[in-house]
């Protein structure tokens, strides 16, 4: 068995299909799409675009989409589908958009300082009167839903996930074993850190106004909050 060093986000990309989140992801896509129907959206920037599922949906509605993700593996999959995606930070994106979205915990991967810089960059990418939509985990979502252990496997892969929540931080250790065609295993391991953010963190931003928030249930009772911002 060999062990390979891998970026935490690329490890997540390699293990995502073993996490059983397809139904939750589709539910989030439906929610975002429904919210965006309230606005006249012609261009959209998907931050943390993953494999491009939401961009494909919005492009089918006639919206011109661009995606960015810090996982090169995710971006490569988007490009293979003909989607416009880059492995860059949102601050490096050119152009402006009618809407920006950050789907499935993207904001929770940022600490307080990173979050403020991220939101400032998002505002810069919005057209006047543009809308930004994101979701975050509630405290209950972290402490009662995300925390714990799980494992999953298929014919040639085994994944172990161990998540611990303390001091407003969720540390999730991913250990993935992948068997090659010669029967040998490669071990990939890394820890992803997510941060709990209180709603008040979003209420007095200099460039974005929080115009709506909706607590909803994705996996369990009231484990997520949807945040909707307009550019000031």
Residue range 170-221, pLDDT digits in tens = 999 999 999 998 899 999 999 999 999 999 999 999 999 999 999 999 988 8
Residue range 10-62, pLDDT digits in tens = 999 999 999 999 999 999 999 999 999 999 999 999 999 999 999 999 999 99
Residue 3 is predicted with a pLDDT of 77
Kindly report the length of the chain.
232
Average pLDDT, rounded, for the chain: 96
Examine the pLDDT at 74 and tell me if it is beyond 90: yes
Residues 87 and 70 sit within 8 Å (Cβ to Cβ): yes
CATH number of 141-195: 2.20.25.110
Examine the pLDDT at 87 and tell me if it is beyond 90: yes
Domain coordinates of the chain in residue numbers? 7-137+198-231, 141-195
CATH number of 7-137+198-231: 3.40.50.150
């Amino acid at each position: 068995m060999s062990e390979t060093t891998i970026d935490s986000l690329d490890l997540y990309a390699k293990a995502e299909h073993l996490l059983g989140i397809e139904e939750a992801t589709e539910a989030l896509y439906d929610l975002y799409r429904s919210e965006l129907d309230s606005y006249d959206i012609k261009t959209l920037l998907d931050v943390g675009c993953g494999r491009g599922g939401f961009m494909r949906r919005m492009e089918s509605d006639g919206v011109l989409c661009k995606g960015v993700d810090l996982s090169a593996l995710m971006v490569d999959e988007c490009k293979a589908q003909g989607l416009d995606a880059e492995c860059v930070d949102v601050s490096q994106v050119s152009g402006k958009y009618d809407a920006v979205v950050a789907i499935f915990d993207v904001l929770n991967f940022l600490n307080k300082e990173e979050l403020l810089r991220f939101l400032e960059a998002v505002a810069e990418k919005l057209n006047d009167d543009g809308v930004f939509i994101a979701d975050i985990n509630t405290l209950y979502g972290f402490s009662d839903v995300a925390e714990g252990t799980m494992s999953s496997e298929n014919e040639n892969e085994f994944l172990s996930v161990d998540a611990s929540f303390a001091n407003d931080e969720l540390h999730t250790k991913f250990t993935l074993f992948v068997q090659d065609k010669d029967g040998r295993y490669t071990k990939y391991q890394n820890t992803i850190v997510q941060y709990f953010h209180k709603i008040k963190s979003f209420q007095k931003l200099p460039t974005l106004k929080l115009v709506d928030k909706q607590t909803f249930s994705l996996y369990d009772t009231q484990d997520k909050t949807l945040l909707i911002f307009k550019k000031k």
